[in-house]
Amino acid sequence: MTNQAMDNFKSQVFLILNSIPFGECIAYGELAAQAGFPNHARQVGAIMKKLPKDTSLPWHRVVNAQRRISFAENTDGYLRQKEKLEQEGWLIVGTKLQLKNKDS
């Protein structure tokens, strides 16, 4: 992957991220695929990792393919993501995301 492609990739990731509506979420792999680069799920994670804590991007809407938060519980990242998701109407059980109403 060229540096240029990578810039493009990042740009796409940010765009797509911003396009995710309130209350929805997307998987790392899917985000990567939509950005035009399948099998780059981890790279998406790497990008998220670099984001400043005060970023305005809805990075919390990105979860793993199992619809779980990809952080161990009691970690800082986990807590921050959980909090933001709860603000968007999600119910978090452990690392698992569920809809408040019914679900599954």
Task: Write down the least CB distance from residue 71 to DNA, Å.
Answer: 6
Task: Write down the least CB distance from residue 45 to DNA, Å.
Answer: 3
What are the structure tokens assigned to 45, written together?
Answer: 């994670």
| Closer of 31 and 101 to DNA (Cβ) | 31
Closest by CA to 60, choosing from 81, 74, 41, 77, is 81
Closest by CA to 8, choosing from 48, 39, 35, is 35
- Residues within the interface to DNA (CB under 7 A): 1, 6, 27-30, 39-46, 48-49, 51, 59-60, 62-66, 70-71, 77, 81
Alpha-carbon distances of 76 from 22, 66, 92, rounded to whole Å: 23, 21, 15
Task: Write down the least CB distance from residue 51 to DNA, Å.
Answer: 6
| Closer of 29 and 88 to DNA (Cβ) | 29
